[in-house]
Amino acid sequence: MDRLSIVLTLITGSVLVGGFVIVILSLGYYDWRVIGGAVVVGFLLTWPAAYAISRWIKREDPVWEPPSGKPEGSRDDRTDLPEV
């Protein structure tokens, strides 16, 4: 688990949960169970989305070097060492 995804979790969570709640309310569903379901779905998708965004940022950054010692230019996301 990398530190960037932990920071992005806060941002991604608020965007996803807020977006889902806004969509539910704009569709005319005002029941607490439907709104709660949108919140739960947003929370469940928060960390995977933050991790995917973190990997995308690191893959596109020309300065960041993976800690595994892979050859440069490799687009493979797998690393030999855990991320720091």
- Note the pLDDT of residue 42: 95
Question: pLDDT band at residue 59, thresholds of 50, 70 and 90?
Answer: confident
Question: pLDDT band at residue 49, thresholds of 50, 70 and 90?
Answer: very high
- Note the pLDDT of residue 76: 57
Q: What is d(CA 13, CA 5) in angstroms, rounded to the nearest whole number?
A: 11
Any idea where the domains of the chain sit in the sequence? 3-59
Q: Which alpha helices (H) appear in 27-62, and where do they start and end?
A: 32-60
- Per-residue pLDDT for 78 more than 90? no
